[in-house]
Structure 1
Amino acid sequence: MHNQNGPPVQVRHHERLLTRSSMMLLQATLSGMGVGLLPMRLAQRHLESGALIRVLPELSMAGRPVYVSYLSSRSLSACARAVLDKTLALALPLQREATQSAPSSNH
């Protein structure tokens, strides 16, 4: 995790639930299972309603890269092009959100 005012920080925790689904993690957090590291786009409305409370507001997660590989020497099938286009459509707003919420490197 990144601290707005300093070097990266490690937070010790013990997982009660491991999932690749942000929606499942959101539901588990809302049902009181524990603390969840959620994307702001999913948590925002629940933070505003008071259903969730932000803990450790001075920390944020660094974005993780996503790679899409394909042979440039071949034209993509319509299906592969649709998957690539959808991936980019979903990833670009997340990249902008991460860039805007990332700690400034200017001290």
Structure 2
Amino acid sequence: LNDRRINLIEEGFDVSLRISALTDSSLIARQLAPVERYIVGSPSYFEKHGVPKRPADLAGHDFMLYTLLSRPNILEMENAKGEKEQVELKGRFLCNNADAMVEMMLKGMGLVFSPDVLCHRHLKSGALVRVLEDWTVPALTLHAIYPHSRHLAAKVRAFVDFTVEKFGPGKAPWVET
């Protein structure tokens, strides 16, 4: 398991599960589930630092920035009225592993711009709180990606079929219904 973008062919991987916009390639991508992204933090963080009311307020908060994004410190959000705001996020903690960021966020160390797949169970339990629910960013999609091959290996086909069954449209456990 790895957060960085791998080269399946050069590095000898059979399948990659990728949450990102896809680039043109010779790889096959099976679309699985939508992935929303939220601004989240712990209740203890918000008790100490206050709750932002609009995206511009985020500039005064401490973020944990995910360094594998192309612009980890820039956030562009839009509300239902079509208003758009861009804010520069500040943070003392830079990380290239989303799971580590969630653990630190649970301890009240800052806010995270997090994919719902990573924070959904903590939101349900109340360990994390989502803010700015009226503001959104474009959703991403979880894909299973694998090299094009005339004869797909049985293990690859079985794994991709499993991921489609488990996380395909309407089935992902983190997607609210």
TM-score with structure 1 setting the length: 0.59
Structure 1 residues 82 and 44, CA gap change in structure 2 (3 angstroms): same
Structure 1 residues 49 and 87, CA gap change in structure 2 (3 angstroms): closer
C-alpha separation in 1, matches of 2:168 and 2:97: 16
Structure 1 residues 81 and 9, CA gap change in structure 2 (3 angstroms): farther
2:139 is aligned with what amino acid?
A: G
C-alpha separation in 2, matches of 1:3 and 1:62: 11
Q: Give the structure with the larger strand fraction.
A: 2
Are the counterparts in 1 of residues 78 and 137 from structure 2 also a CA contact under 8 Å? Answer: yes
User: What are the equivalent positions in structure 2 for 1:27-106 lying under 5 Å apart?
Assistant: 27-65=103-141, 66=143, 68-71=145-148, 74-88=150-164, 89-90=166-167, 92=169, 93=171, 97=175
Residue-pair matches, total: 96
Q: Give the structure with the larger helix fraction.
A: 1
More displaced 10-residue stretch of structure 1: 11-20 or 40-49: 40-49
| TM-fit CA distance, 1:39 | 3.3
Give the ranges of 4+ consecutive aligned residues of structure 1 lying more than 6 Å apart after TM superposition: none
The higher relative CO (CA closer than 8 Å, separation ≥ 6) is in 2
Give yes or no for the alignment of 1:17 onto 2:97. no
Structure 1 residues 78 and 8, CA gap change in structure 2 (3 angstroms): farther
Structure 1 residues 33 and 70, CA gap change in structure 2 (3 angstroms): same
C-alpha separation in 2, matches of 1:69 and 1:48: 33
More displaced 10-residue stretch of structure 1: 55-64 or 26-35: 55-64
| Cα RMSD after superposing both structures | 3.3
Percent identity over the alignment is 31
